Structure 1
Amino acid sequence: MKIKNTISLFSFFASICFSVSAFAATSVNCVSQLTDLDFIISSKSQGLLRFQNTPSEHNFAYHSDTSFNDYLDFAYQHILHSNPRAAMPCPLSTTTYKQLVKQGSRPEKSNIADLVAPFELRQPDNQKAVLLLHGLTDSPFTYHDLAQTYFQQGYTVRTLLLPGHGTAPDALKDVNAQQWQQATDYAINRTLKDYKHVVLGGYSTGAALLINYLTTHPVNERVKALMLFSPASEPHNKNGWAAKWIDLIPFVNWIDEDADIDFAKYESFPWNAAAAADDAMSTIAVNNLAQRRFPAIPVFTALSDIDTTIDSKATFALLSALHKISPHNTGSPDTLVLYGDKNIIPDYFPDSYTIHNPQCRSSDCKDIQGISHIAVVNSPNNPHYGINATYRNCGSYLDDESLYTLCKTTAQTTLGERTADNVARFQPFQRLTFNPYFNELSSQITQFLNAIEQK
């Protein structure tokens, strides 16, 4: 482990002590911490939640002959062992969680490990499954809302925990894109063994890993569709390639150092994570795809026009490249859901796509300044990220404690994507964490699924 400075060393040991003392108190839970400003500021400055417990030496082999249940058991135990807040009570009950309790996969009273661990939402005696991959710094909690859309269509829903996730941000200092791809390949191949009709879905970096698999492997005919949410095509910051070199500089480990108070997503961000994500996106660069083949399966994509994490223009180029190298049949149900300005769609984009461009028609969205990269997959009813939730993403102000505090505590903030213009115009500004058009998205997904099942 690289230690940034003396404070980081102290923080590492402090986080371990915290996990066995204060976190065990019944009065402390994942929700109450979100409003404890003193703890948030201390955690941000000292890195109290930035470091994992000593990780287990046992690793999962990712052989496709190993059952998915064995994988789920391994991942859960890994989180319990390494996440300093794994056992902390987290009374946030989603519909997906309630169903996991009903099927005997989770206890009625949830802790953090129960919510961030990968899950399988099972349908009895069916042959349809969707495999969903989260993005960089995220966890399978990302899919607690979208899982319902697929489950209601009769799909068993499987999720994967990418290596380095589900514990604490410093776990990302020792992973690479090859490890993520190995886990992805296992989950796909295992699901293809278990089901006859498989849909693959990926958010952000998870989308890049799926595309790389589909363009570098002979694709089983059981794969029926690819679904992409804020897919990682190219970083918005074009200097991502430099991250791996910066990470080599002694004591320079972190791009962002936040409080990491979000139980379901890392808020601090190591340079190595940026390097690994850039490597994952490089594998699906348009110039690399020209020499590959994409299977004749339909693609569903949802993205924002002003995504500040991923370059939306690069995503249009990526989708066009996939269409070009795929032997598509006429009438393919390829679908694009674009939040924002429809005029950014380039002239070269395939005209066979069905395009949805949601418009605001209610008070819930009229003051929102653009849909963020992280908002697309979450419902406004999400108990952690939704419109009435306690959590606030204030990462725009990591270097300004006054505005950071104001963002966390003021009665009213402006929500949207954290473009430079939005952050300058609206203070305090909170990054949007839910999709005000989520019900429409769910209907669009259902329509797409119905179309592919009729083919």
Structure 2
Amino acid sequence: MIGLRKIHCAISATVSMFLAGCVQVPDTSAFKASADFPEFKQESFEEYVQSTRGWLRENRAFTTDNPEVELDANAPFEIKPLKQGKKRKGILLVHGLGDSPYSFVDLAPALAKQGFLVRVVLLQGHGSKPADLIPVTMESWQELVEYQAKQLQGEVDELWLGGFSTGANLVTSLALQQEEDVKGLLLFSPGFKPKSAMVSLAPYLAKIKDWADIDETENYVRYDSLAVKGAGEYYRTSKRVRKDLEATAFDRPVFMVMSEYDSVINSEGVLELFESRFTHPDSRFIWYGNDPESEDPRVSVLEARIPELRISNFSHMAPLFVPGNPYYGKNGSYRMCNNGQLGKAAKNCPIAEEVWYSAWGYREKGKTHARLTWNPYFDEQMSQINQIFKKHSEQ
């Protein structure tokens, strides 16, 4: 993370808003924007997937010696329903800022088991190289999500939308505009309200500065460097969805999940919006943390501190991944040590045998913390989602 000796900058929906100044930009392909973005208005989703994979093959700044694995993680994908009900059901899933379709690698198969045709899109500026977040706009993200949702709607009887962080903002705004066409929503760590008010400066800073943070890592499923423009466009989605919710309450079923300790999003603000603007009685909200003392019976609380698993609290991204995920899971191949630690703890993280897990920025004396990148409650979470489906989706 960037220190306080630098001037203000925006950080993504997966990190905080901090101070930035002169950043040394590496002379590598990752920090040189592509000449264009892939087309997304093909006649079929299969064509969209193949076209995007081709574009990524030509434009991605690969970080490992296995480009096909990287392509699989970053390209849009589809999973056919594993069972067919009375009506055809479809759900479109949209990832967050700096992330990739890999965000839904565990959720998508679980939804397919419930009879859904699952499609996961790639937002412009993502999946290729961090510099591609410099020319992005909220409007281009909105256009892609709207087009892919309309295309899916034409192939199914029921349309659901889902999103993580920035993606949750985009699908919620679309659902509010086209509520009669959307059966319900699944929202994971929705980015409705940034935790830091300084994020609102990002659209202005983007006019004079390209980079908020440069951090070259080997994580091939998301960016750890962030362009200020990308942070600014995230903020615009949050401002837009709050305006949309102020104008119109969403009265269809929604599943929402949030960590009390989210380092990026104002979790209490999200809970307040759920209680006041998502009005359907069968909606559900899971809060990972201490009891927020909500009087809303639709809110359930799950303990975020689990010492036997060395979990201190839940991160922004934790709800998405199963414990057995081969990359991000409990025994996965990637340990996210970029977690806001300093000194000995930061140095120990990559090699320590005993590591604790938390949200970004959490510290505890005598303990080394990596980011919590998996969800010990994933099955319980899916159970609540399936209860909504059972009541409101044709089986």
Q: Note the C-alpha offset of 1:382.
A: 0.5
User: Are 1:113 and 2:92 matched, yes or no?
Assistant: no
1:430 to 348, 359, 370: 370
Q: Alpha-carbon deviation of 1:174? A: 1.2
Asked if 1:284 corresponds to 2:241, the answer is yes
Does the CA contact (< 8 Å) of 2:357 and 2:372 recur in 1? yes
Aligned residue for 2:347? 405
Q: Is 1:219 equivalent to 2:179 in the alignment?
A: yes
**Structure 1 pair 426/236, CA: closer, same or farther in 2 (3 Å)?**
farther
Partner of residue 94, structure 1: none
- Is 2:294 the counterpart of 1:354? no
Note closer, same or farther for the CA distance 1:451–1:267 as it changes in structure 2 (3 Å cut).
same
Instruction: Quote the Cα distance in structure 1 between the aligned partners of 2:40 and 2:73.
Output: 24
Is the aligned partner of 1:257 residue 2:214?
A: yes
Structure 2 residue aligned with 1:314: 269
Question: Would the alpha carbon gap of residues 418 and 335 (structure 1) be closer, same or farther in structure 2, given more than 3 Å must change?
Answer: same
Q: Could you tell me how far apart the structure 2 residues matched to 1:123 and 1:454 are?
A: 13
In the superposition, the TM-score normalised over structure 1's length comes to 0.75
Q: Say whether 1:76 aligns with 2:37.
A: no
Amino acid at match of 1:381: G
Whole-Å Cα distance in 2 between the matches of residues 304 and 6 of structure 1? 31
Cα distance in structure 2, aligned partners of 1:360 and 1:293? 30
Cα pair distance change 1:157/1:88, threshold 3 Å: farther
* Cα distance between partner residues in 2 of 1:301 and 1:376: 10
1:274 to 208, 231, 236: 231
Q: Decide which moves more: 116-125 or 175-184.
A: 116-125
Separation (CA, whole Å) in 1 of partners of 2:31 and 2:308: 37
Q: How much has 1:184 moved relative to structure 2?
A: 0.9
5+ long unaligned stretches in structure 1: 16-49, 91-109
Match of 1:394 among 320, 325, 337: 337
Following the alignment from structure 1 to structure 2, what is the Cα–Cα distance between the partners of residues 232 and 382? Answer: 24
The SS at the match of 1:162 is: coil
TM-score (norm 2): 0.86
Equivalent residues of 2:23, 2:214 under 8 A apart: no
How far apart are residue 84 of structure 1 and its match?
1.8
Gaps of 5+ in 2: 1-20
The amino acid across from 2:357 in the alignment is L
**Higher RCO structure, 1 or 2 (CA under 8 Å, sep 6+):** 2
Asked if the contact 2:339/2:360 (under 8 Å) is kept, the reply is yes
Contact between 2:64 and 2:218, CA under 8 Å: does it hold in 1? no
CA separation of 1:291 and 1:7: change in aligned 2, threshold 3 A? closer
C-alpha separation in 2, matches of 1:432 and 1:6: 28
Partner of residue 340, structure 1: 289
Matched letter for residue 78 of structure 2: E
Contact 1:88 1:112 in 2 (8 A): no
State the distance in 2 between where 1:199 and 1:253 align: 36
Taking only the aligned residue pairs, the percentage that are identical comes to 27
More helix per residue: 1
Residue in 1 that maps onto 2:104: 143
Deviation at 1:224, TM superposition (A): 1.5
What is the alpha-carbon root mean square deviation over aligned residues?
2.7
CA 1:7 to 1:302, structure 2 compared with 1: closer, same or farther past 3 Å?
Answer: closer
Q: Deviations over 1:251-304 (max 9, x none)?
A: x4322222231110111112111111000100012x55332353x310111111
Query: Quick one: distance in 2 between partners of 1:309 and 1:323?
Result: 22
